[in-house]
């Protein structure tokens, strides 16, 4: 269990994390989602005691990270940028970390095997591809067999095989009763991996809910109807208290009735229907809707929008 309370971090006059409150529970994969620059990495660094909160607290299992006597056995982390000396082999990197906790060399070999780096374990980490680097990061996170895992953008740089592997790994880790927090700026990835979502933007908590709930709350399921008698259909629907909107002549967007109900209603009243399409917002759209206000950097769509000084 990770608990953040009024967690705040400022750099000068810039507030990067702003009063975050959340619990990350064991047994499920919790996605930590937000646009780039939302404060995800800073929050994760504060969980690991690498950055000190300006105010507020964040604890793992009720303790500040720095107060854990054997942190690698409690929390395993994969941090954003590589956190490996490029001149050292994967084996020696993990061995150095293992020594701090008297973790046996056999465990080092086991995690190398687990992430599939056995053949390159003696090679300099600096020569690793991005994907191999990520695997090494995951090996170090798993080294102490911790009850809590914190992974910052773990699928970055992985090939499709690797991505699939990560998804299974995360699900299995959660199924074993571990607390799993995974950050991403990609909703689509989260929708495939996470059970629960914590969404932040500009350092503030935007949403903290099961992923299915986000779908149903943020995306209103509507039905698009095209009919030569659209006005008449709209009157009928409105009289029964259904909200409809019309963006163009002959087309209606209906909220609160299924396609079947609308079709039956039209038939009963002798109204011809040319199109009847259920509209379902994707998770991506739901996410965009949530974070729209809080995107740090909006990109212009045309070159002309940016002036050349």
Partner 1 sequence: MSVTQALPSSAVTPFVPLADPAPVTLRRVLSSEWVKLRSLRSSWITMGLAVAAMVMAGVVGGILTNQDWAHMRPGRRANFDPVGLSLAGLNFSQLAIGVLGVLFISGEYGTGMIRSTLAAAPRRLPVLWAKAILFGLVTLILMEISAFVAFLGGQAALGSHGTTMTAPGALRAIVGSGLYLTVVALLGIGLGFVIRSTAGGIAALFGVLLVLPGILSILPDSWQTNVGPYLPSNAGAALYDLHPDPGTLAPWTGFAVFVGYAVVALVAAAIILERRDA
List residues binding partner 1 (CB under 8 A).
Answer: 25-28, 45, 48-52, 65-66, 68-75, 77, 79, 81-89, 92-93, 95-103, 140, 144-147, 175-179, 195, 210, 212-213, 215-216
Nearer Cβ to partner 1, position 101 or 226?
101
Nearer Cβ to partner 1, position 71 or 201?
71
First to last CA, the chain: 51
Q: Determine the Cα–Cα distance for residues 164 and 135; give it in Å rounded to an integer.
A: 13
Nearer Cβ to partner 1, position 126 or 228?
126
Nearer Cβ to partner 1, position 102 or 309?
102
Q: In what order do the strands lie in the sheet with 179-184?
A: 75-78, 148-152, 179-184, 29-33, 196-201, 204-210
Closest separation between CB of residue 285 and partner 1, Å? 17
Task: Provide the 8-state DSSP code for 234.
Answer: H
Closest separation between CB of residue 178 and partner 1, Å? 5
Nearer Cβ to partner 1, position 141 or 254?
141
Q: Are strands 2-11 and 14-24 parallel, antiparallel or unpaired?
A: antiparallel
181, 2 in Cβ contact below 8 A? yes
Task: Determine the 3-state secondary structure of 243 from DSSP.
Answer: strand
Closest separation between CB of residue 185 and partner 1, Å? 20
Q: Determine the Cα–Cα distance for residues 210 and 30; give it in Å rounded to an integer.
A: 9
Closest separation between CB of residue 194 and partner 1, Å? 12
Closest separation between CB of residue 182 and partner 1, Å? 16
Q: Determine the Cα–Cα distance for residues 183 and 36; give it in Å rounded to an integer.
A: 11
């Amino acid at each position: 269990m990770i608990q953040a309370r009024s967690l705040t971090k400022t750099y000068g006059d810039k507030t990067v994390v702003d009063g975050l409150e959340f619990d990350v529970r064991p047994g499920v994969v919790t996605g930590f989602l937000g646009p780039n620059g939302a404060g995800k990495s800073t929050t994760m660094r504060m969980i690991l005691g690498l950055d000190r909160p300006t105010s507020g607290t964040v604890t793992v299992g009720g303790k500040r990270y720095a107060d854990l006597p054997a942190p690698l056995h409690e929390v395993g982390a994969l941090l954003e940028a590589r956190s490996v000396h490029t001149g050292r082999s994967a084996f020696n990197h993990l061995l150095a970390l293992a020594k701090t906790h008297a973790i046996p060399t056999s465990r080092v070999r086991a995690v190398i095997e687990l992430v599939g780096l056995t053949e390159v374990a003696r090679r300099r980490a600096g020569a690793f591809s991005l994907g191999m680097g990520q695997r090494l990061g995951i090996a170090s996170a798993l080294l102490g067999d911790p009850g809590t895992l914190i992974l910052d953008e773990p699928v970055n740089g992985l090939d499709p095989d690797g991505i699939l592997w990560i998804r299974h790994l995360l699900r299995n880790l959660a199924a074993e009763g571990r607390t799993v927090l995974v950050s991403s700026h990609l909703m689509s990835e989260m929708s495939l991996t996470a059970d629960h979502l914590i969404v932040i933007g500009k350092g503030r908590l935007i949403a903290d809910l099961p992923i299915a709930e986000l779908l149903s709350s943020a995306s209103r399921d509507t039905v698009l109807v095209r009919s030569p008698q659209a006005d008449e259909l709209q009157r009928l629907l409105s009289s029964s208290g259904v909200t409809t909107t019309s963006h163009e002549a002959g087309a209606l967007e209906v909220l609160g009735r299924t396609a079947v109900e609308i079709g039956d209603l039209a038939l009963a009243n002798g109204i011809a229907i040319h199109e009847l399409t259920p509209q379902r917002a994707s998770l991506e759209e739901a996410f965009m809707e949530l974070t729209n206000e809080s995107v740090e950097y909006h990109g212009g769509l045309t070159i002309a929008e940016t002036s050349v000084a």
